[in-house]
Amino acid sequence: MTQFGIDVSADDIIDSLSFFDNWEERYKYIIDLGKELPPMPESYRTDEFLVRGCQSQVWLVDEWRDNRLFFLADSDAFIVKGLLGVVLAAFNGKTPGDILGFDIDAYFARLDLLQHLSSTRGNGLKAMVKRIKDKAAATH
């Protein structure tokens, strides 16, 4: 399985999406990213790890290792799993300082992402990012 943030960086995602001519192809690519997420054990699919504010169910588990935050994430929706891959490419395996210093809005702008998502999906994406940044702030 792919380790987003380690094997696939935010720059890799930007480069890959730029190859596609239309958003239908980009959506397919994002859905394919979701298929590369490492599987999440059922034991983590609990309210404790549920991200509030998402239209779909999203679970996010963090692990602190070697002064870096690592995340395991999953969703019950294919497109959201792909969006988790996009987010994890930016944050997974990074130090809290790197996470807090990363300009996620500029990243999403370069991907031209938010204007192509429904407002509820966009809000869910922001909720995922907030959860990750909150974890980074708590350990920083």
Structural domains present in the chain: 10-139 (3.90.1010.10)
Which residues have CB under 8 Å from 64's CB, separation 6+? 70, 139
Distance in angstroms (rounded) separating the CA atoms of residues 26 and 106: 18
Is position 115 annotated as part of the catalytic site? no
How big is the CA angle at 36 (ends 34 and 39), to the nearest 5 degrees?
90
Indicate whether this model's pTM tops 0.85: yes
Average pLDDT over residues 27-56: 93
Instruction: Kindly indicate the confidence band of residue 1, based on its pLDDT and cuts at 50, 70 and 90.
Output: low
How big is the CA angle at 109 (ends 100 and 138), to the nearest 5 degrees?
15
* Annotated catalytic residue, options 37, 54, 86, 88: 54
pLDDT in tens, 99-140: 999 999 999 999 998 888 888 888 999 999 999 999 999 987
